[in-house]
Amino acid sequence: MTTTTARQTPPVKGKPLKRKTEPICYIAPIILFVAVVAAWALFVSASGISRTILPSPFAIFREMSKNFVRDILPHLLFTLRVILTGYAVAVPLGILIAAVCSQYRIIIKATTPLIILLVVTPMITMVPLFMLWMGFDSKVRVIVVILQATPIICLNTLTGFTTTEGAKLELMRAMGATRLQTFVKLIFPNALPQVFTGLKLGCIFSTIAAMSADLAAGKEGLGYRIQQYSSLIMTEMAYGTILIVALIGIVLFQIVVMIERRVILWVR
């Protein structure tokens, strides 16, 4: 007599609602980019500023396309390897440390200030020390990246692990779930949005750290290249290389964003 099972039309099976990105979202950054380049070029030619201070974007492009393969590419690959190796270690390490720390409130309380300290320490200041201990090779750079990226990944993940709703924990307790089950089935998936925030910041921190390590020492890497070009007053190449570094950061960031979109299908 009741119509309790009255059917609403069910949504299409197996198709979670996709947040469609409007075309404007792709076009807008391109328009902004073009506008910035145009303004830049206009400013340079109108003000007659010296090319050693600010070269025109076209000059940068010209110099870069001339020298990229020979002078930049090997260093780009070198730096990229440092970033990716460091990041690949930092991600599991940061999550693992957060998982261990989150097991006891007292450990969270004890370690959080230390983690924040590591987040805000610019590892460039530590490079000379590392070199003192470990001599000089590319491992030092990877370690710098690991030390810079792990704490920020860890901090965000830890926040995620410690903000599980009480009622959800009660749900697991009502089933007599073990600690491990509670972690795997509740705490970790619940923390995924914060984990991804950590992973995105980790990309940026890794890139910055690799630059710091290059600048501090060595004869390889994009950071070293930037320094060299500046001292040779090859300003166009210096700017061009800086842009390449920025591009690395943007691409890594966007890759993580893409993965995030595939993983996090629910709306919170």
Partner 1 sequence: MNWCDHKLSRLPFEPPGSGMDRSGPILTLDKVSKYYEAQNGGELLAVKEVSLGVRDREFICILGPTASGKSTLLKMMGGIEKPTLGTMSLRGEIFEDGIPANKLRNFGFVFQQDNLLPWRTVVKNLRLPLEVFHSAGHGSADRIAEMLTLVGLQDYGDVYPHELSGGMRQRVSLARAMVHDPDILLMDQPLGALDAITRRMLSHELLRISRATRKVMVMVTNNIDEALLLGDRILVLTALPGEIAFEAANDIPAEARNEAIIENARYKALRALLDDIVHAQSEAGRTAGRTGGDGE
Interface residues toward partner 1, by CB under 8 A: 1-5, 7, 10-11, 13-17, 167-168, 170-177, 181, 185-186, 189-190, 192, 264-268
Q: How far is the CB of 259 from partner 1 (least distance, A)?
A: 15
Instruction: Name the residue nearer to partner 1 (CB basis): 187 or 201.
Output: 187
- d(CA 222, CA 72) in angstroms, rounded, equals 7
Amino acid type, 101: C
Min CB(168)–partner 1 separation in Å: 6
Rg (CA), the chain: 24
Classified as helix, coil or strand, 76 is: helix
Pick the closest to residue 262 from 196, 188, 200 (CA basis): 196
Closer residue to partner 1 (CB): 59 or 192:
192
Residue 173: is it exposed, middle or buried by C-beta count within 10 angstroms (0-12/13-18/19+)? exposed
Tell me which amino acid residue 18 is. K
Tell me the C-alpha distance between 207 and 150, whole Å: 13
Comparing CB distances to partner 1, the nearer of 149 and 187 is 187
As measured in angstroms, the least distance from the Cβ of 180 to partner 1 is 11
Question: Whole-number minimum distance, CB 197 to partner 1, in Å?
Answer: 16
For partner 1, the closer CB: 131 or 264: 264
Site of tokens 């590419």: 73
Instruction: Work out how close the CB of 12 gets to partner 1 at its nearest, in angstroms, rounded to a whole number.
Output: 9
Nearer residue to partner 1 within complex by CB, 196 or 224: 196
Tokens of 177: 């779930």
